[in-house]
């Protein structure tokens, strides 16, 4: 299946995309993760993207479309994928349609994940990421430290949590504004294409997972799902890694 997860920052797109990747082997393509990777690697592209990201604005389309074109060119996406954080405006959505038409692989579904504004802000301000494994937790749901009593699968010790620099109060307000102005029009864009499905994305990760699977018509959960259920208190399963991303110079 080729899917787009649509929703405001903090709506749980990354959490569910990562879960689908783990359970179904569908590559998660997160432009936020790809851009953070470029920033961390200090590439020219990352340097150009950083200022916009820090301010909560959209990174310019040319950069984002470049990384998406490269990612969609990789062989692992031939069996399907979950796009998370892309497209984010009409120009990107139009460009995506053209890219996929060229590949003969149109989208199957776009799922809008709806979350109340107060809950979005609460989730974003409580979000913490493990420096080593990339797993995302939430201090507001997991108690004091934000991480459950499990070892980091990468380093073996406790998770080393940090807060994303763009998860501060000012930037969050800007990101929500950008979502309303630039990304929300995609709801109508995909509705008229007959691709849009909407789910309530509040509640536990598991509850949202069930609604999402039902919306996608994949309600029967595979055996592997039971082994990879996110631990209590975790906002999401591992994210931020795009492990399947091919290592290529940009």
Which of 3, 4, 6, 9 lies at the binding interface for ligand ADP (CB under 6 A)? Answer: 9
Q: Shortest gap between Cβ of 220 and ligand ADP (angstroms)?
A: 29
Nearer to ligand ADP, 9 or 233 (CB): 9
How many C-beta neighbours within 10 Å does residue 131 have?
14
Q: In whole angstroms, how close is the CB of 157 to ligand ADP at the nearest point?
A: 26
Annotated catalytic residue 36: no
Active-site residue flag, 250: no
Which residues lie below 8 Å from residue 87, measured CB to CB, with a gap of 6+?
4, 93, 95, 96, 186
Residue 85 near ligand ADP by CB under 6 A? yes
In whole angstroms, the minimum distance from the beta carbon of 171 to ligand ADP comes to 8
Residue in 24, 88, 128, 197 annotated catalytic = 88
Q: Site map for ligand ADP, 146-185, x if CB under 6 A? A: --------------------x--------x----------
Confirm or reject binding of residue 77 to ligand ADP (CB under 6 A): no
Given 19, 71, 123, 127, the catalytic residue: 127
């Amino acid at each position: 299946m080729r899917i787009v997860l649509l929703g405001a920052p903090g709506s749980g797109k990354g959490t569910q995309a990562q879960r689908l990747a783990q359970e179904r082997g569908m590559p998660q393509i997160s432009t936020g993760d790809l851009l953070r990777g470029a920033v961390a690697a200090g590439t020219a592209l990352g340097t150009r993207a950083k200022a916009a990201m820090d301010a909560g604005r959209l990174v310019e389309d040319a950069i984002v479309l470049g990384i998406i074109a490269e990612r969609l060119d990789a062989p692992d996406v031939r069996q399907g994928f979950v796009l998370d954080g892309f497209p984010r405006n009409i120009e990107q959505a139009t460009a995506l349609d053209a890219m996929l038409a060229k590949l003969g692989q149109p989208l199957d579904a776009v799922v809008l994940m709806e979350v109340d504004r107060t809950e979005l802000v609460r989730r974003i301000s409580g979000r913490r990421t493990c420096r080593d494994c990339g797993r995302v937790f939430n201090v507001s749901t997991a108690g004091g430290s934000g991480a459950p009593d499990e070892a980091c699968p990468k380093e073996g010790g406790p998770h080393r949590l940090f807060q994303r620099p763009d998860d501060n109060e000012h930037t969050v307000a800007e990101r929500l504004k950008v979502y309303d102005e630039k990304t929300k029009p995609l709801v109508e864009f995909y509705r008229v294409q007959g691709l849009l499905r909407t789910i309530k994305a509040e509640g536990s990760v598991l509850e949202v997972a069930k609604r999402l699977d039902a919306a996608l018509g994949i309600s029967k959960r595979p055996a592997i799902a039971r082994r990879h259920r996110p631990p209590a208190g975790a906002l999401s399963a591992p994210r931020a890694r795009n492990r399947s991303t091919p290592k290529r110079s940009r």
